[in-house]
């Protein structure tokens, strides 16, 4: 993905999350959802145009599930098969890695939940690379974390959907509902 | 579709400077991204600290994960007066890229969560999630250094971007 230097005006390198220089040549807002009163059991972006190179989803969210933390997940094109992930995380006490395959959904990481510090929301930045390329299985990378002033987690995760179909919809879910004020923003990157 | 990933302000230091502040941040974006490529003039170790809206109360906490030569680890700090990213480069040969993603910064309902990543060139790579326990909209960001008397060295750059949602 080409990006433009503020200093020189030249285009270079990638603007995906975590890379050092970030001025994408094209970074378009496709759609945004903010969860209203009563929460939402799922959030779906559908009819995603195939005109971008990559997608980025930026999420601020909290689960209503009765725990301090709870995972969120995504399904691509409504599919319930072919997912895998690997995770690297730190929780203030230990660094650990984990992974799973042959899953019915793509786990993205943990967010704050109903028993956690009030008003605390977890955050996720998810890149889905070459999402419209019908020659490739789909791979994602996620940078996520939540913090509760006494517990919390920081993590990085890779995800696989073993399917070459172009991605045209993303459906996010969690245990319980996404709490009011959760926000999901989808961007297209060229 | 609206194109949106815009530079709000940028600063390149001509002289050593102790703190960097971006103020009067407009509320018209969804997320902020603060990109730092800087070093400390400290002769010892140093750390970069993020303060929001000038709040010097103990309203910050963070969990971080890091890797150094042969070792990985994770730590947590609670009820602090700033968010400390971790080891920061000292001396002009050790520019340290640091990127903060400050999510949903302008809402007045939720606490504010920050994702940070730092690459100290010879010592440590760090990721971090930080919390500011305030529902106030963010209007200013200040970057401190932990080491007494230390400055951000000349040549250091700081750029604040806004990401706008549909």
pLDDT tens-place string over residues B25-48: 999 999 999 999 999 999 988 999
Please give the pLDDT value at position B166: 76
Contact A144, A125 (CB under 8 A): yes
Q: How far apart are CA A172 and CA A126, in angstroms?
A: 12
Judging contacts by C-beta atoms under 8 Å, the chain B residues touching residue A144 are: 115, 129
The gap from C-alpha B75 to its chain's centroid, in whole angstroms, comes to 17
CB atoms B75 and A92 under 8 Å:
yes
Contact B36, B116 (CB under 8 A): no
B positions 113-152 inside 8 Å of A (CB)? 113, 115, 117, 119, 127-131, 133, 135
Q: Is the CB of B8 inside 8 Å of chain A's CB atoms?
A: no
Q: What radius of gyration, in Å, describes the C-alpha atoms of chain B?
A: 15
Q: Is residue B140 part of a domain?
A: yes
Question: Residue B32 sits in which domain range?
Answer: 6-163
Please give the pLDDT value at position B21: 98
CA dihedral (B119, B132, B82, A67) in degrees, to 10, reads: -70
Q: What radius of gyration, in Å, describes the C-alpha atoms of chain A?
A: 17
Contact A176, A17 (CB under 8 A): no
* pLDDT (mean) for A92-99: 97
CATH number of A27-189: 2.60.120
Q: Is the CB of B108 inside 8 Å of chain A's CB atoms?
A: no
A37 pLDDT more than 60: yes
φ, ψ for residue B133 (rounded to 5)? -85, 70
Q: How far is A91 from chain B (nearest CA, A)?
A: 7
CB atoms A89 and B65 under 8 Å:
yes
Q: Is the CB of B10 inside 8 Å of chain A's CB atoms?
A: yes
The gap from C-alpha A144 to its chain's centroid, in whole angstroms, comes to 8
Q: How far apart are CA B3 and CA B68, in angstroms?
A: 39
Please give the pLDDT value at position A24: 55
Please give the pLDDT value at position B165: 84
* pLDDT (mean) for B19-29: 97
B115 pLDDT more than 70: yes
**B35, B99, B166 ranked by CB distance to A32: nearest:** B166
Q: How far apart are CA A94 and CA B9, in angstroms?
A: 38
Average pLDDT, chain A: 90
Q: How far is B157 from chain A (nearest CA, A)?
A: 11
What residue has token string 């302008």? B106
Token output for B107: 């809402």
Q: How far apart are CA B141 and CA B80, in angstroms?
A: 16
Please give the pLDDT value at position B4: 86
Please give the pLDDT value at position A105: 97
Specify whether the backbone of A49 is left (phi greater than 0), alpha (psi in -120 to 50) or beta: beta
Closest by CA position to B57, among listed B142, B132, B140, B137? B132
Q: Compare all CA atoms of chain A with the CA of B104 and give the residue at the minimum distance.
A: A60
Contact B112, B52 (CB under 8 A): yes
pLDDT digits (tens, 9 = 90+) for A106-154: 999 999 999 999 999 999 999 999 999 999 999 999 999 999 999 999 9
Please give the pLDDT value at position B1: 56
What residue has token string 């977890």? A122
Mutate to test the interface with A, among B64, B71, B73, B76 (most CBs of A within 10 A): B76
Q: Is residue B134 part of a domain?
A: yes
Structural domain tally of chain B? 1
CATH number (domain holding residue B130): 2.60.120
CA atoms within 13 A on the CB side of A162: 9
CB atoms A95 and B163 under 8 Å:
no
Please give the pLDDT value at position B87: 82
Q: How far apart are CA A48 and CA A189, in angstroms?
A: 13
Please give the pLDDT value at position A14: 43
What residue has token string 């879910």? A173
Please give the pLDDT value at position A18: 47
Contact B87, B124 (CB under 8 A): yes
As a three-state string, the secondary structure of A43-111 is: EEECCCCCCCCEEEEEEEECECCCCCEEEEEEEECCCCCCEEEEEEEECCCCEEEEEEEEECCEEEEEE
pLDDT digits (tens, 9 = 90+) for A8-36: 444 444 445 444 444 556 899 999 999 99
Q: Is residue B29 part of a domain?
A: yes
Q: How many helices and strands, by DSSP H and E, does chain A display?
A: 0, 12
Residues 6+ apart with CB under 8 A from B50: B82, B83, B85, B100, B114, B116, B130, B141, B142, B143, B144
What residue has token string 């309203």? B59
Q: How far apart are CA B133 and CA A128, in angstroms?
A: 31
Q: Is residue B1 part of a domain?
A: no
Average pLDDT, chain B: 94
**B107, B129, B161 ranked by CB distance to A154: nearest:** B129
Please give the pLDDT value at position A26: 84
Taken in order B66, B70, B71, B72, is the CA torsion positive or negative?
Answer: positive
Judging contacts by C-beta atoms under 8 Å, the chain B residues touching residue A145 are: 63, 113, 115, 127-129
pLDDT digits (tens, 9 = 90+) for A153-189: 999 999 999 999 999 999 999 999 999 999 999 999 9
């Amino acid at each position: 993905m080409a990006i433009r230097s503020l200093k020189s005006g030249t285009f270079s390198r990638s603007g995906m999350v975590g890379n050092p220089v970030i001025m994408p040549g094209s970074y378009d807002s496709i759609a945004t959802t903010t969860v209203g009163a009563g929460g939402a059991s799922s959030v779906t972006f559908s009819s995603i145009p195939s005109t971008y190179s990559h997608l980025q989803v930026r999420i601020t969210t909290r689960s209503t599930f009765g725990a301090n933390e709870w995972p969120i997940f995504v399904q691509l094109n409504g599919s319930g098969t072919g997912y895998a992930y690997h995770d690297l995380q730190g929780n203030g006490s230990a660094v650990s890695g984990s992974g799973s395959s042959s899953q019915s959904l793509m786990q993205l990481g943990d967010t704050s939940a109903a028993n956690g510090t009030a008003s605390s929301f977890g955050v996720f930045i998810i890149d889905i690379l070459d999402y419209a390329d019908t020659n490739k299985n789909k791979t994602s990378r996620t940078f996520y974390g939540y913090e509760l002033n006494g517990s919390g987690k920081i993590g990085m995760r890779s995800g696989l959907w073993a399917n070459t179909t172009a991605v045209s919809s993303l459906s996010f879910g969690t245990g319980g509902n996404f709490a009011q004020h959760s926000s999901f923003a989808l961007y297209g990157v060229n | 579709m609206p194109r949106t990933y815009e530079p709000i302000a940028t600063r390149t230091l001509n002289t050593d400077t102790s703190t960097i502040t971006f103020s009067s941040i407009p509320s018209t974006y969804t997320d902020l991204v603060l990109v730092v490529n800087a070093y400390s003039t400290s002769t010892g170790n140093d750390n970069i600290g993020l303060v929001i809206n000038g709040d010097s109360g103990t309203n910050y906490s963070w969990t971080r994960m890091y890797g150094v030569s042969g070792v990985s680890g994770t730590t947590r700090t609670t009820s602090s007066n700033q968010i400390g990213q971790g080891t920061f480069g000292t001396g002009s040969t050790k520019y340290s890229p640091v990127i903060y993603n400050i999510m949903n910064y302008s809402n007045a309902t939720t606490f504010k969560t920050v994702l940070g990543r730092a690459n100290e060139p010879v010592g440590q790579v760090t990721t971090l999630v930080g919390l500011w326990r305030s529902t106030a909209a963010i209007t200013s960001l200040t970057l401190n250094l932990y080491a007494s008397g230390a400055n951000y060295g000349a040549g250091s750059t700081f750029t604040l971007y806004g990401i706008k949602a549909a």
